[in-house]
Amino acid sequence: MNITVIGCGRWGSLIAWYLDRLGHRVTLYGRAGSAHMRAFRSSRSNGLLTLPASVGLSTCLPEAAAGAEVFILSVPSQSLRGLMGELAPLELRGRAFVLCMKGLEVESGKRLSQIAEEATHPSNGVAVWLGPGHVQEFYAGVPNCMVIDSRSDALKHRLVDAFSGELIRFYYGQDLIGNEIGAASKNVIGIAAGFLDGLRLGTLKGALMSRGTREISRLIAAMGGNPFSAYGLCHLGDYEATLFSPHSHNRAFGECFVTGRPYEALAEGYYTAAALQALERQCGVELPICDAVWRVLYRGRDAREELDLLFRRTVKPELEGREVRQ
């Protein structure tokens, strides 16, 4: 395939490296002012990985898009709508857009695939590439499993067949809503895990994991998805990488936040916590963990007090004959 990867951060560059390794023709696009792109153009390395000479580098979007069959987008979630606006004048038709990013639009609460579909021609397909893993581990040759999902079964199967290799085994997603919501919200749970680490309460992560999964399964069901998707690779299956790993930006951000240390890297869960407030109201679903994280981040509430209230919540039956609310 001729593939253009848009976004030269840690994930975009890893994807370009991985797909080149599989034999695809890959161009990596980044803005001219990007420090990552300057590093790649200077030494082909960003400090995490080195790109082979076979990966093309471009800072001109029309040039990078020319001839591409597949566009893989790996940019901050809140930048997606703007990027789709930049692509619109190119009048792309019959292409595939694969979103390798996790989040929700803050203003609307929309899933990222919804934004991409709204902003592109109907002849273009949209898919998502989600699941656990860290750049450092993949580049070191440590394998993992991930998910590709789409409303188009044909596109989903085409991408899984083309992108699968020894390093990444892809599963066919069966619930676009559940997989996107699960992937986005796990970053909020990751920030809560960072709070626990910062307050030396890491033993509560087991409770956080079980309650967090149940919480998000209710939201997925209320949005029309399959609640069991919360127990798959895109949410519970990503907890090890997000709640425990030293490479997790969201966990590290949460830890730094409660200990008063600066943190410069992007933590998508910060924006997702705000977006979930709108979804919670729209769907009429309680999200106690996500609410607690939001109050700490956006309302200045004390993290220790919020966590104490969270884990002391009264357990009560939802309805007779149904399981209790956690």
pLDDT mean over 44-69: 96
Cα–Cα separations (whole angstroms), residue 154 to 22, 202, 265: 21, 43, 36
- Helix (H/G/I), strand (E/B), else coil: 5: strand
Q: Is the CATH code 1.10.1040.10 the one for domain 177-325?
A: yes
pLDDT at 262 over 60: yes
Which residue bears the tokens 């592109």?
120
Paired strand residues for 126: 97
The domain locations on the chain are 2-172, 177-325
pTM listed for this prediction: 0.93
pLDDT at 81 over 60: yes
- Name the pLDDT band for 45 (thresholds 50, 70, 90): very high
pLDDT mean over 234-258: 96
Which residue from 232, 146, 242 is spatially nearest to 188, judged by alpha carbons? 242
- Name the pLDDT band for 241 (thresholds 50, 70, 90): very high
Q: How many residues does the chain have?
A: 326
Long-range contacts of residues 315-322, Cβ cutoff 8 Å, at least 24 apart: none
Contact at 8 Å (CB) between 216 and 181? yes
pLDDT at 320 over 60: no
Torsion-angle region of 7 (φ positive above 0: left; ψ -120 to 50: alpha; else: beta): left
- pLDDT digits over 134-146, tens only? 999 999 999 999 9
- pLDDT digits over 179-210, tens only? 999 999 999 999 999 999 999 999 999 999 99
pLDDT for res 315: 54
Mean model confidence pLDDT for the chain: 94
CATH of domain 2-172: 3.40.50.720
pLDDT for res 326: 35
Q: E strands of the chain, at which residues?
A: 2-6, 25-29, 56-58, 70-73, 96-99, 125-130, 144-150, 168-172, 316-317, 324-325
Q: Helices 176-198 and 269-283 meet at what angle, rounded to 10?
A: 120
pLDDT at 86 over 90: yes
Contact at 8 Å (CB) between 183 and 237? no
pLDDT for res 20: 98
Catalytic machinery residues: 186
